[in-house]
Amino acid sequence: MQDFLDSLIAGGSFAGIPRDLVYAGGMLVFGLIVVFGFVLNVSGATTFVERRVWGRMHNRVGPNRVGPQGILQWLVDGIKLLMKEDIVPADADPPLFKLAPYVVIMGFVAAFVAVPFSSALIVADLDVGLLFITSVTALVVVGILMAGWSSNNKWSLIGGIRSAAQIVSYEIPAGISLLPIVMIAGTLSTQGIISQQGWAPWTWFLFYNPFTFVGFFVFFTAALAEGNRTPFDLPEAESELVAGFVTEYSGVRYLMFFMAEWGNLYIIGALVTLMFLGGWQVPHFTDVAVVQNAAQFLCFFLKAYGWVLIAMWVRATLPRVRVDQLMSICWKFLVPIAFVNLIGTAVWMVLFPEGLWPVRILLFALGTAVILYFCGRVIFHLRRAQVRQRGLFTANPLS
Amino acid sequence: MRKKGYFRNIADTCWTIFDGMAVTMSHVFRKPVTVQYPDRMPVRVQDQLPFRYRGILEVDLEICTGCLACERACPIDCIVIEAKKDMKTKEMILSRFDIDMAKCMYCGLCSEPCPTGSIHHTPEFEGADFSLESLVRRFVKDPVVAYKVKKGDQPETDPETAMLLERGLRYVNEFASGGEAE
């Protein structure tokens, strides 16, 4: 971005305007393009994809009426929510109540500043990229607490408090799982981390050593919990808390909360991708920068969105955990494992400063084997279901 | 409950999540069981329902005897019949036969005492409308002569009426005998 603006300034496009002002303007324009062209659409479309994916996992169809196969459903839902009345409860704290959704969506959108799309497409390649992302996404908890408190509703309050406890707890394993990668890459910059990986899977940090391999799953679990996703969606557990901190919200403010929740999924996917899965790395196949960047964008998007799909899949699979289980998962399991990963990676880097290629290949083979075995289990369950279905009609279970 | 070891616990968690994910993934490859009512069905729902389904009431005026059994049987008085005996021709003249489907609770008590099966339920169940008045079904437009049951075992001569009568009696028989386990 900066190079592009520099070239424009050198070309005399912004004569007489201070350089910093041009930078700020460029940042705003590109930020707006990212938000309105990408972020809002992705989080909107995710709602539709999520409902369809769940539908199929529940043997249902899902929304399929608006547009071909229902692909316009998310637009219709958005318009519906925009037109609904924005109710502020009588006993609520109006300023806080109205401000809370903006804080939440701000914390989520700000993270996109440091999330790369390709080697050239990034709003700002901050030197503290990862730190920046983890800190601004922690802003979400402030918004959720504000929403919970200002609604003047006990369910909202419990939801807000739960969310605060949860996010603060899970920041620790998530943060510590970032550290091995930062140590290996030697930088916090997102582009810097990606550029140290290659396009081939065995050059990804996921397969760098056994500790990063485990750390990947620790991070993904902790990130799901930070994003208030099932099985960790206690702050908005419908069966206990109505809708948690969004109970009193309606219309466009409600939309903002959910925009942030669904958009957060993409950030989780993007973080996982850029740290463990090689980011936008594709083989260099053309010298045309635009084409190369488009391929990189596609690669990054597919990887990140793949993890969004997996998060949906987890949500369709796992039941919600209890509050005490939530805390024991974090403090008894994820935190110790994350620390082991951190120390293990440190020792590994002392022992093998250049990395160990056989281990990488071995881990890659292990990952492939796990996926293959998984496919086998899927086929096994499909077959068993068919056998059971046949048995249902031939044998009377009561006789 | 047996207390599990720490690592055993982790292994169990990983395996159950792994296998659980496989189960949900296997559901993606199965056909949805959803019946997409109303427009994406090969056969209408109404045509799949059983003969005795209690949908919206229907009266075959051609075989209505004007005996008022249904009106008396109705527990909520949603059936209103006006029938007068013509003294000259000794025929019942039906001048009104209204069923208020908004009141009807689909109990089926009216169709059980009907001697000819004239009043019966149809499989039609889509009764939504914009006004309550339009839910009142008026079967008599102009006063008509009620049907007279033939004496003895004399068969019905008019083929159209015979068909209706056969269908109606079948309905009554099924209704009266099928429900009770006597």
Structure tokens at B112: 């059980």
pLDDT (tens, 9 = 90+) of chain B, 182 residues, equals 456 788 888 888 888 888 888 888 888 887 777 777 777 777 777 888 887 788 888 888 888 888 888 888 899 988 988 888 878 877 788 888 889 988 889 888 888 888 888 888 888 888 888 888 888 888 888 888 878 777 766 777 777 788 888 888 888 877 765 544 43
* CATH fold group of domain B49-179: Alpha-Beta Plaits (3.30.70)
B34 interfacial to chain A (CB closer than 8 Å): yes
CA pair distance A211, A352, nearest whole angstrom: 14
Select from B50, B164, B149, B175 the least CA-distant residue to B118: B164
Whole-number Cα distances in Å, A60 to A270, A315, A384: 29, 16, 20
Using an 8 Å CB-CB cutoff, list chain B residues near A385. 26, 30
CA angle, residues A133, A182, A270, in degrees to nearest 5: 40
CB contact under 8 A, B32 and A60: yes
Q: Distance (Å) from the C-alpha of residue B8 to the closest C-alpha of chain A?
A: 12
CB contact under 8 A, B29 and A380: no
Using an 8 Å CB-CB cutoff, list chain A residues near B34. 59-61
Using an 8 Å CB-CB cutoff, list chain B residues near A318. 17, 20
A359-389 pLDDT, tens per residue? 888 888 888 898 899 888 888 888 887 776 6
Write down the pLDDT at residue A1.
Answer: 61
Q: Distance (Å) from the C-alpha of residue B28 to the closest C-alpha of chain A?
A: 5
Q: Which of A14-23, A317-326, A358-367 has the lowest mean pLDDT?
A: A14-23
Structure tokens at B71: 């009106």
B28 interfacial to chain A (CB closer than 8 Å): yes
CB contact under 8 A, A318 and B32: no
Structure tokens at B19: 């296998």
Write down the pLDDT at residue A225.
Answer: 86
Q: Choose from A50, A54, A59, A224 for mutation: most chain B CBs within 10 A.
A: A59
CB contact under 8 A, B27 and A57: yes
A272-290 pLDDT, tens per residue? 888 888 878 888 777 777 7
Write down the pLDDT at residue B153.
Answer: 66
Write down the pLDDT at residue B3.
Answer: 65
Tally C-beta pairs within 8 A across A and B: 57
Using an 8 Å CB-CB cutoff, list chain A residues near B21. 313-314, 317, 374
B18 interfacial to chain A (CB closer than 8 Å): yes
CB contact under 8 A, A377 and B28: no
Q: Choose from B6, B15, B24 for mutation: most chain A CBs within 10 A.
A: B24
B64-82 pLDDT, tens per residue? 888 888 888 899 988 988 8
CB contact under 8 A, B23 and A381: yes
Using an 8 Å CB-CB cutoff, list chain B residues near A334. none
Assess whether pLDDT exceeds 60 at residue A399.
no
Q: Distance (Å) from the C-alpha of residue A393 to the closest C-alpha of chain B?
A: 16
Q: Distance (Å) from the C-alpha of residue B74 to the closest C-alpha of chain A?
A: 39
> What are the sequence ranges of the domains in chain B?
49-179
DSSP for A277-314, please give it: S-TT------S-HHHHHHHHHHHHHHHHHHHHHHHHHH
Q: Choose from A53, A54, A61, A213 for mutation: most chain B CBs within 10 A.
A: A61
B39 interfacial to chain A (CB closer than 8 Å): no
CB contact under 8 A, A60 and B34: yes
B21 interfacial to chain A (CB closer than 8 Å): yes
Select from B104, B110, B114, B117 the least CA-distant residue to B73: B110
Q: Tell me the percentage of chain A whose pLDDT exceeds 70.
A: 95
CB contact under 8 A, A314 and B23: no
CB contact under 8 A, B17 and A317: yes
Q: What is the dihedral of CA A165, A171, A176, A178, to 10 degrees?
A: 160
Q: Choose from A217, A318, A381, A384 for mutation: most chain B CBs within 10 A.
A: A381
Write down the pLDDT at residue A389.
Answer: 66
Assess whether pLDDT exceeds 50 at residue A396.
no
Paired with B102 in beta bridges are none
Whether residue A172 contacts residue A138, with contact meaning beta carbons closer than 8 Å, is answered with no
- β-pairing verdict for B57-59 and B119-121: antiparallel
3-state SS assignment for residue B80: strand
A217, closest residue in chain B (CA to CA):
B14
Write down the pLDDT at residue B2.
Answer: 58
- Please report which residue ranges of chain B form alpha helices under DSSP H: 6-28, 45-48, 69-73, 159-179
Using an 8 Å CB-CB cutoff, list chain A residues near B26. 378-379, 381-382, 385
Read off the pTM: 0.76
Nearest Cβ partner for B24 among A317, A380, A385: A317
Q: Could you tell me the pLDDT band of residue A2, with boundaries at 50, 70 and 90?
A: low
Write down the pLDDT at residue A268.
Answer: 86
Whole-number Cα distances in Å, A78 to A52, A66, A236: 17, 13, 20
Whether residue A241 contacts residue A247, with contact meaning beta carbons closer than 8 Å, is answered with yes
B6, closest residue in chain A (CA to CA):
A333
Q: Distance (Å) from the C-alpha of residue A81 to the closest C-alpha of chain B?
A: 26
Assess whether pLDDT exceeds 70 at residue A84.
yes
Instruction: Find tokens 């009620």 and name the residue.
Output: B146
B37 interfacial to chain A (CB closer than 8 Å): no
Select from A313, A50, A319, A47 the least CA-distant residue to B27: A313
Write down the pLDDT at residue B181.
Answer: 42
CB contact under 8 A, B19 and A60: no
If you average pLDDT over every residue of chain A, what do you get?
82
CB contact under 8 A, B29 and A378: yes
CB contact under 8 A, B30 and A385: yes
CA pair distance B22, A370, nearest whole angstrom: 12
Residues A158-189: b if buried by 16+ CB within 10 A, e if exposed: bbbbbbbbbbebbbbbbbbbbbbbbebbebbb
Structure tokens at A304: 């990140």
Whole-number Cα distances in Å, B69 to A205, B57, B110, B151: 84, 15, 7, 20
Cβ within 8 Å of residue A356, ≥6 positions away: A209, A348
Q: What is the dihedral of CA A255, A261, A266, A272, to 10 degrees?
A: 170
> What are the sequence ranges of the domains in chain A?
83-355, 357-392
